[in-house]
Chains A and B, each alone.
Chain A
């Protein structure tokens, strides 16, 4: 079974430029997450999708970050304009939508963003 795919793996941009990241979740996974992982910290949830709809975007800086998940499969996360503090690894994860206790989030390898 193929894992979560992300691209690009690395991106270097100047501040105030825009950037976009792409994620393809595991086939059949209804839930998709975008996390920001700053160096030396744990992942922080930015946005969560259930199929096409947004479940939680409370920690997404909406003045500069946007995300979409068209057709309930692939997703893109965009930053416009980027700031120095956006330098981080952006992780995409997906999970099955099932009832009951416990579930597993499967993470992609991440995109390392450096803002100069």
Chain B
């Protein structure tokens, strides 16, 4: 019940395209859903996060869509650039009561071709 399932494992798009990464969860106690971006040789860095009472959140070219009833959320990268080529992880947490512990998805490697 603690799993977060992420798909696809990898994605190749042309510059300007919109990579979409999907995640699904089972634990209804999750109340915090961040996305992390990781470049080779670096640690993950927080990109954007959403709470379950919001259906969409945008920050720059990154958008999270959240479907509470389906227990799914997704990341869209608008007008993707070669510099967006990285591995993206979705995650979920059930908050301070659970020690703010993050459960990560398996990751999606995104390649944006020039």
The verdict on A43 contacting B89 (CB below 8 Å), with A101-B51, A102-B32, A109-B42 known, is: yes
Is B95 in contact with chain A by the CB < 8 A criterion?
yes
- Of the stretches A13-21, A64-72, A73-81, A91-99, the one at the interface is A91-99
Q: Residue B43 contacts which of A56, A95, A104, A107 (CB distance < 8 angstroms)?
A: A107
B97 to chain A, nearest CB (A): 11
Residues of A within 8 A of B100 (CB): 31, 95, 103
Q: Is the CB of B46 within 8 A of A43?
A: no
Q: Residue A43 contacts which of B31, B95, B104 (CB distance < 8 angstroms)?
A: B104
B interface residues, tally (CB under 8 Å): 27
- Residue ranges of B at the interface with A (Cβ–Cβ < 8 Å): 4, 6, 31-32, 34, 36, 41-46, 49, 51, 89, 91, 95-96, 99-107
From B4, B31, B44, B103, residue with most partner A Cβ within 10 Å: B44
